[in-house]
Amino acid sequence: MIMNISKTHQEQRAGDNSSQYQQIGDNSNQTIIGNQTNNVSITTSALPDVVSFTTMVSTQVTAQALKLCTQVSHEICKDRMEKFESQWVPVITKMENAVNNLIDPKFQFMIRDANISAAKSSRQEDLEMLTQLLVCHIEKGSDMIKDAGINKAIQIVNEIDYDSLCGLTCVATILKTIPTAPCVSEGLKVMDGLFSKLLYTELPKGDNWIDHLDVLKAVGIKSGNFYKLNIILSSNYDGYACAGIKEGSEEHKKALEILEMNHYELNCLLPNECLPGYLRIGCSNKGELKPELKPIIDLYSKDDNLLKLAQSSFMEKWDSYEKLKKIREWFEEIPLFFRITSVGYALAQTNAKRCYPNFPDLI
């Protein structure tokens, strides 16, 4: 028998609750219906590499974030340098020989360094100090030793702690600054007013601030301690803290003759505020006297007891001023002796001028 299988229909049952229908031939199809469990097995190789994908995305995001942060940083730097330019240009261009300095390559490099410091700083005070340092270069740049200190100061302005800078400025002022007033009370009043401007923050304690300044090469730490302030002031203010000439004495007559011979007013001899009954030339430091008046100093009493009495009286007057007393007490607690470098004096002067424009030169 020959069977035609081109269009054959076959139906078959296979097991309980199962059925199978199958058509064989052209356009044949097969359907399996039943309570069978279909398990699909997917291998891990079919999934994306999650680690690689995550790393790729993370790298792309990080790169974009870094690019954005860099752009923001560049804008901040640009704004700060423009702000600094608006600060120094009006000051420098008004100075004598400004053009000669501006065409000097050395000065242009200093401006570049100042711009870098300005870009790294968020403090307005730094821009003022950088401006003053450029001014110092124009005024004192011919002195290579001083100019080296100015140049280094420009490079570290943005790194110095302002409490430490306050301490440095006060020490430099104590060691290097004296009033020009002839009268003791007037001179001390001037100094008290000056320190009231310099004390813009609390004075630093301990030795961390000294170490910080040493790291920046603003000071050099040495062995030992500072002298007590009364010893320092007795030397720096020896025109105030002195015995002087006894009123009505032979020395008094000779002093008047010297004044008259050199065409000075006789009232140049003032009552000694630190030693009643004695007279003194109106100056804070004997070394500041003109040569023709120095013979009068030789007429001062040589009595050590009188000198110590005058010096003690001077310190009492010093302590009668709030800021001066505070400075003395703080100074005498400084735990380490240090020498202020040319960098330190450049920083101290520019900081002082920032606080008090008429502050005298320290460098």
- Domain positions in the chain are 235-319
More confidently predicted of 20 and 167: 167
Beta bridge partner(s), residue 7: 25
Whole-number Å distance between alpha carbons of 200 and 54: 53
State yes or no: pLDDT of 247 exceeds 70: yes
pLDDT score at 60? 79
Closest CA to 175 of 252, 232, 136, 122: 232
What would the pLDDT profile of 72-108 be if each residue is shown by its tens digit? Answer: 899 999 999 999 999 999 999 999 888 999 999 999 9
Q: What are phi and psi of 245, to 5 degrees?
A: -110, 130
- Kindly report, residue by residue over 41-81, the tens digit of the pLDDT: 445 554 557 667 677 767 777 788 888 888 989 999 999 99
- Indicate the average pLDDT of the chain: 87
Predicted confidence (pLDDT) at residue 193 exceeds the cutoff of 70: yes
**Is residue 40 pLDDT above 80, yes or no?**
no
Compute the distance between CA of residue 245 and CA of residue 243 in angstroms, rounded to an integer. 7
pLDDT at position 48: 55
Per-residue pLDDT tens for 307-337?
A: 999 999 999 999 999 999 999 999 999 999 9
Average pLDDT over residues 260-266: 93
Q: For position 7, what pLDDT does the model report?
A: 42
Averaged pLDDT for residues 189-209: 96
Summarised one tens digit per residue, pLDDT across range 208-246 is: 999 999 999 999 999 999 999 999 999 999 999 999 999
Rg of the chain in Å (alpha carbons): 42
- At residue 250, the 3 state secondary structure works out as helix
Does 342 score more than 60 pLDDT?
Answer: yes
pLDDT confidence of residue 20: 45
Written as six digits, the tokens of 51 are: 């680690």
Q: How far apart are CA 239 and CA 283, in angstroms?
A: 5
Per-residue pLDDT, averaged over 279-301, amounts to 95
Residues 57, 183: Cα–Cα separation, whole Å: 77
pTM: 0.80
**Confidence at residue 33, expressed as pLDDT on a 0 to 100 scale:** 38
- Report pLDDT digits (tens) over 110-163: 999 999 999 999 999 999 999 999 999 999 988 999 999 999 999 999 999 999
Q: What secondary structure does DSSP assign to 113-165, as a single string?
A: HHHHHHHT---HHHHHHHHHHHHHHHHHTTSHHHHHHHHHHHHHGGGS-HHHH
pLDDT digits 0-9 by tens, 18-32? 444 444 444 444 444
The pLDDT, as a whole number, for residue 136 is 94
